[in-house]
Structure 1
Amino acid sequence: MVGLIITTICLAAAATVFYLKMKRMERDIYQFSDRLEECLDELISGKELENTDKPRDALWDKIYEKLLRVSHINRKRSEENRREKEQMKELISDISHQTKTPIANLRLYLEIAENEDTGEEKRRELMQKMAGQTEKLDFLFQSMVKMSRLETGIIEIRQQPACLYETLASAVAFIVPAAEKKEIRLYVDCGEDVQVNHDKKWTEEALFNILDNAVKYTPDGGTIHVRVSVREFFTEICVEDTGKGIAPERQGSIFKRFYREPEVHDQEGIGVGLYLAREIITLQKGYIEVQSELGKGSAFRVFLPNE
């Protein structure tokens, strides 16, 4: 009889322990599902998960770590989408602003040319002006296409070991006529055997834009020096001119899209050359530095990684 009682008590105790374990497991499951539902609701609403002081266990730690990664990925994608939308809005605004003047000029010249009192010589002059505005629009839209394709990643930069001398020579060749017209002395110091990992086509575009900028803002009879120096990790291409120089407070703005200094609006250009140059070099894991002083010229230094 005593044995039966003891057995009954043991069974009752075991049942109680089992019941308590089941209740504890049920509570833990409810807590786990509540926390999971709370985190999923935050992810759905676009909120970013943060580390909290709530009770945690090994299983929840693993799940929460995965949820944090998902939250981080969603936040990055959201930021990228926001940036892309802002870039698109800025681009559309820039296109609208930049095309207003040449289009207005074309309409004005056309109205004058259509006037019966306009002489033949005047019409020829107006036709030349319209051709100039048309070329400006064409250059503007080509630049827009390059910018949009670079910014959206449509154009893929393909770096490979190549002779920098050849790339630089091609860029210099395009600015020689303009330099000769202004009697600007042009000096280039680059070893013919310098090999750098770069995209020849787009690096040539970047270097041309910097050189073209130097020619535009260097007065007649000035000097432009191009020097290439191979360093431990980077190869430096320095374009130094004897131009008007850039005020310190403006040096942070010259690489902005469509930026032009107030006193050079009579010069040709739309203010995208340096912007494109920086984008191209940055995509190749390089960078550009500028050193300048008003009245004493400027030095643009392009650094391309050796590997």
Structure 2
Amino acid sequence: MTKDKTEQRKRLLKWFGFAVGAMTLIGVLYGGPGKTARLLAALGYLGSLGIWAAYTWCIKRDIWRFTDSMEKSLDYMIQGREDPEFDETAESQLSKLQTKLKQLYEIQNHYVQSSLEERKKMQELVSDISHQTRTPVSNIKMYAEMLGEKCTDRDTEEEFLAQLKEQADKLDFLIQSLVKMSRLETGILKIRQEETPLYDTLGRAIGSVLPRADRKDIQISVDCPEELFIYHDPRWTEEALYNILDNGVKYTEPGGKIDVSVREQEIYAHITIRDTGKGIEESRQCKIFGRFYREPEVRGQEGVGIGLYLAREIITRQKGYIEVRSEAGRGSCFHIYLPGKSQN
């Protein structure tokens, strides 16, 4: 029942009560002790009873409708229906309460969905970790068992020991990568942005990949203004840039080249990292930033497929973004955009 109808009913009952009361008062004051007076008094009394009965009935009916509607609304919520049938257009108390219930229902649904998504992510993470650690652990066990055999000679033992060290290093690298990823995702290590020179951050990232680039005779050229200050987390941004550069060195043939340039734009600092490596097929470019993704032809090489995932997460958490443009066999170009000033 709407608010207007309720008020209209109250006014009608009020005027009817006044009419009956007036009739009774006239009978008492002017009718005297005769039959007319008694008749008017009786009519007034019966009218009052009728008004009370009608009013009580209306109240009971409204209560019944209210409880019935609330019961249906609660049933919809208990059954988990996506859109409970609430009348949000009316102005009655029932409608207001139903609106509040719907808001509570939506909040509860949001928490349930978030919990399910978090549980799914955790299951995927555990599955990924189990899959990634299985190979190095199995290899370590295998070489350890071989070393335990008495028939192995000195040269074979040294070969097995070298393989054990390689697998242990791979497992250590994987664990370190997983620790970085988990700390970043869970918020244990937070992004702490400050206005510092991008030149210094980029220099440290390039310095970390130079030894491997020198071993492959890969030339790295850099064009970055020293006076460019941007609002970023130096440590995590260095990690992101290192991961992209490391990928470039890893998948570029000996004698190749990597060009790094930085340009200041109106809102962003634009970092370009271009290599002459193997390139990425267009159909795979949307997948390379996925956790543990590795292209089929490079699965035999070192790496676990976390570097580019971490790079995108780090840049995104600083309100920046990454784009990649590449052609198979013609190298790749990564475009990193970082805010020039605080976006808070």
Q: Give TM-score, length-normalised by structure 1.
A: 0.90
Tell me the equivalent position of 1:60.
94
Q: Verify the 8 A CA contact 1:48 1:71 in the aligned structure 2.
A: no
Tell me the equivalent position of 2:137.
103
CA distance in 1, matches of 2:314, 2:247: 16
Tell me the equivalent position of 2:282.
248
Change (3 A) 1:37 1:103: same
CA distance in 1, matches of 2:283, 2:228: 36
Aligned-residue offset at 1:15: 4.7
Q: How many equivalent residue pairs?
A: 307
Q: Give yes or no for the alignment of 1:71 onto 2:68.
A: no
Change (3 A) 1:8 1:281: farther
* Greater relative contact order (Cα < 8 A, sep 6+): 1
Aligned-residue offset at 1:304: 2.2
Aligned-residue offset at 1:137: 0.7
Change (3 A) 1:44 1:234: farther
CA distance in 2, matches of 1:69, 1:192: 53
Change (3 A) 1:65 1:160: farther
Change (3 A) 1:12 1:202: farther
Q: Which runs of 4+ in 1 moved over 6 A?
A: none
Tell me the equivalent position of 1:91.
125
Listed one character per residue, the Cα deviations across residues 149-178 of structure 1 (whole Å, up to 9, x for unaligned) are 333333322333333222222211111111
Tell me the equivalent position of 1:263.
297
Tell me the equivalent position of 1:156.
190
Change (3 A) 1:8 1:290: farther
Change (3 A) 1:159 1:104: same
Q: Give yes or no for the alignment of 1:28 onto 2:84.
A: no
Tell me the equivalent position of 1:172.
206
CA distance in 2, matches of 1:53, 1:148: 45
Tell me the equivalent position of 2:318.
284
The structure with more radius of gyration:
2
Q: Which of 306, 327, 341 lines up with 1:272 in the alignment? A: 306
Greater mean deviation of Cα atoms: 163-172 or 40-49: 40-49
Change (3 A) 1:52 1:191: same
Q: Give yes or no for the alignment of 1:132 onto 2:166.
A: yes
Q: Give yes or no for the alignment of 1:118 onto 2:157.
A: no
Q: Verify the 8 A CA contact 2:181 2:310 in the aligned structure 1.
A: yes
Listed one character per residue, the Cα deviations across residues 71-103 of structure 1 (whole Å, up to 9, x for unaligned) are 222222112111111111111211221122112
Percentage identity across paired residues of the two chains: 45
Q: Give TM-score, length-normalised by structure 2.
A: 0.81
Change (3 A) 1:49 1:159: farther
Tell me the equivalent position of 2:218.
184
Partner-residue secondary structure (3-state), 1:225: strand
CA distance in 2, matches of 1:254, 1:22: 71
Q: Give yes or no for the alignment of 1:237 onto 2:247.
A: no
Partner-residue secondary structure (3-state), 1:288: strand
Paired letter, 1:83: E
Q: Which aligned pairs between 1:217-236 and structure 2 lie closer than 5 A?
A: 217-236=251-270
Listed one character per residue, the Cα deviations across residues 21-54 of structure 1 (whole Å, up to 9, x for unaligned) are 3322332223223333333344345444445458
CA distance in 1, matches of 2:270, 2:212: 25
Unaligned runs of 5+ in 2: 1-30
CA distance in 1, matches of 2:140, 2:280: 33
Q: Verify the 8 A CA contact 1:225 1:240 in the aligned structure 2.
A: yes
CA distance in 2, matches of 1:152, 1:84: 11
Unaligned runs of 5+ in 1: none
Q: Verify the 8 A CA contact 1:290 1:298 in the aligned structure 2.
A: yes
Paired letter, 1:92: V
Q: Verify the 8 A CA contact 1:168 1:207 in the aligned structure 2.
A: yes
